Amino acid sequence: MCKEIERKLNQKKIAYDPNVLAKACDFAGKAHEGQKRATGDPYIAHPLAVAEILADMGMEFHTIIAALLHDTVEDTSISLDEIEKQFGKDIRSLVNGVTKLSEIEFSRQYQLESLTERQEMEVENFRKFFLAIAEDLRVVLIKLADRLHNLETLGAKSPASQKRVAQETLEIYVPLADRLGIGQLKVDLEDLAFRYFMPDEYQKVRLLVSEKIDDRKKNVNILQKSIPRLLTKNQIKVIKIEGRAKHFYSIYKKLKKSDGDIDKIYDLMAIRIIVPEESDCYKVLGVIHQQYKPLIYRIKDYIAVPKPNGYKSLHTTVFGLDGRITEIQIRTPKMHDEAEMGIAAHWHYNQSKSKIFSVFTRSSYAPKNDLEWVKQLAEAQKGFNDKELIENLKIDFFHNRIFIFSPKGNIFNLPEGATPIDFAYLVHTEIGNHYVGAKVNGKIVNLNYKLENRDIVEILTSPKAKPSRDWLNFVKTSGASQNIRSWFRKESREDNLKSGEETLVSKLKAVGLTLSDIDERILSFFNVKNTDDLFVLIGEGQITSRQVTNRILDPGTEKQKRPSKTKRTELVIKGTEGMPYRLAKCCQPCYGDKITGYVTQGQGITVHRTNCANIIRNNPNKLTEVSWQSGSAIYQIPILVKAKNRIGLLKDITYLLTDKKINIGSIKSKHEGDMTVIEMLIEIEKMVLLPIVINNLLGIKDVYEVKRLR
């Protein structure tokens, strides 16, 4: 059953234990016995195919074994403990990692009932995804191989499933394979997904290519015969010269940029020349240019300046026979293997160079530099709300990358659309914090200037300069956004500390007290370590100076209980007796609203407002009558506040609500230019109080709109 895998392991010179391989094949075969794929094939055909793909990539033996077993825990009665008992901790860890990744289906989130839930699911999926990458890259490589074979058999699925899987592949897995530098896997995933996600466009591209490819092939075939003679004449050894056809999805993307004109795509067919040494690459380039006139703007040196995924090669486009334009790529065997296998080549070279290799030695980690971007993405998860996290990860990870040079020739890579400020923070946090301007290719540019590939950027700084909140409107990288926010958090703390101290000193003085009257007992009551932290809480509006002074004057008063959220009476809804239920996030029903229930099998009842758009669209047979238990709960009202951004705004709002004895269940704010938008959940005992609260909030300086959400 594993003969083909064994043949590939031998071919790639991968060290392995034939007994362990036979045991894993037998174990997986018995675990999946009786199971069928949608194609009608025995299920074991899938893990065998995944293992073969990874063997072709030159992956180490533990990865191959984990590929054979990767579906056993998810789809059979086999436990992780059994995997560990039979194959060890490392295999268990890999199988567990793949099982967790298999639970992440990015595109299925769109079936959820509300935008909020979709965002929460997407954020959680991205977090799991990047944590898996950072923990052990082999897990993600198994998942990529798994996805490739699933695409190869996708025709057996329904059209809806085909489109969902294809879209997810193009949006998530293709950029991942590209970032890991696994060129062959990337183009295979792209073309298979393209076929199912955009079938009409796929057929159009296929037809266009078929009309042009024969003519291009003739030109390439002639060059393939003439170039070896040319290189031999110049005493340059050549390992291989081959023709390379461009893949359909890549052609589709280029057609979009060239207004659908396929004659503008010069690399529809290209020539690849493989030579022994790096120096030979440049010799070949010189000889080629002596014989064939190059298009100067299409000469690319990815050896001196590799792509962010590590890709190395020389590219040139020349006028060949009869003036026909042809692209030529020049690289060494090592460059070629790394272009095809990317990060997977790490394991291949480790094993091929080692005379003794133990199959039970953990060799899972790629070179540190190759995974530095993963660590940066993991770090980028801190300090962002959910929506910001999604957008920043998508920009940092999935966007095309550009190369930027410092005046000293150091190379940095950034996502397309990045600005000089993104570059400044990438170089060093303090350079970003003290940014005053930038020169790009010797010329002063605007703050929001979009950098282009190979720009030379000089950052201008001043010790007195500081970040602006407006920068957040146009910076592209999570690193820049995070550093700008971090700076303002630090500055805001200082402002709040100063404001809180002044407010408290004034209040204490009015009742004959001083700061020396604040002892450990008071600090402990407010759960702070020192008076500075107490000042910050007052400045932020989380507590009031009156609460502090009252606590000092009368520590036993019933009026001054430890600050906390209002104690809620348990919410009771008629019609849900004996069943689990939850309030819908899409319409956020409050006590007193007209409501109805939606029954979801296995999840109980979701309570919506009767006029909720989601309920109106849903199956009426799943609706059930529900109503509020009279007097059973306080009213929880989501409200929106819009105001001009200024220091102390949030403090004024929270101070007013605290003074009116209105609890704030949750609060979040964001800046839009010089405006602040605040969403909060307030808790009141009577609905008649809501208009009064809104009117009071409108009386706060710089507040121009207050309304109930939904």
**In whole angstroms, what is the distance from residue 554 CA to residue 371 CA?**
58
Q: What are the residues whose beta carbons fall under 8 Å from the beta carbon of 177, sequence distance 6 or more?
A: 144, 185, 186, 189, 342
Which runs of consecutive H residues, i.e. helices, occur in 239-315?
A: 248-257, 278-291
CB 627 within 8 A of CB 646: no
**CA Rg value for the chain:** 32
Residue whose C-alpha is closest to residue 219's, from 262, 267, 289: 267
Residue whose C-alpha is closest to residue 98's, from 58, 127, 133: 133
Task: Give CA angle at 193 (191, 196), nearest 5°.
Answer: 110
Residue whose C-alpha is closest to residue 710's, from 578, 556, 588: 588
**In whole angstroms, what is the distance from residue 138 CA to residue 706 CA?**
52
**In whole angstroms, what is the distance from residue 389 CA to residue 538 CA?**
29
CB 445 within 8 A of CB 420: yes
Q: What are the residues whose beta carbons fall under 8 Å from the beta carbon of 503, sequence distance 6 or more?
A: 538, 539, 545
**In whole angstroms, what is the distance from residue 464 CA to residue 347 CA?**
49
Helix (H, G, I), strand (E, B) or coil at 594: coil
Strand 595-600's sheet: what is its strand order? 581-583, 604-609, 595-600, 623-624
Residue 556 backbone dihedrals phi, psi, to 5 degrees = -100, 0
Helix (H, G, I), strand (E, B) or coil at 440: strand
**In whole angstroms, what is the distance from residue 33 CA to residue 131 CA?**
33
Name the token pair of 407. 């005046």
Give residue 274's Cα distance to chain centre.
Answer: 35
Burial tier of 677 (Cβ tally within 10 Å: 0-12, 13-18, 19+) = middle
Residue whose C-alpha is closest to residue 142's, from 56, 78, 54: 54
Provide the strand spans (E) within 251-332.
Answer: 269-274, 300-301, 314-319, 325-331
CB 265 within 8 A of CB 255: yes
Residue whose C-alpha is closest to residue 329's, from 446, 200, 183, 191: 183
In this structure, the number of other CB atoms found within 10 A of the CB of residue 458 comes to: 17
Residue 218 backbone dihedrals phi, psi, to 5 degrees = -60, -45
Name the token pair of 543. 């507590």
Residue 257, amino acid: K
Name the token pair of 165. 């899987």
Angle of helix 386-393 relative to helix 478-510, nearest 10 degrees, comes to 160
Report CA torsion sign: 658, 661, 663, 667.
negative
Residue 608, amino acid: H
Residue 474 backbone dihedrals phi, psi, to 5 degrees = -135, -10
Helix (H, G, I), strand (E, B) or coil at 606: strand
In this structure, the number of other CB atoms found within 10 A of the CB of residue 315 comes to: 17
Q: Please name the residue that has the structure tokens 């065997």.
A: 333
Q: Catalytic positions, please?
A: 74-75
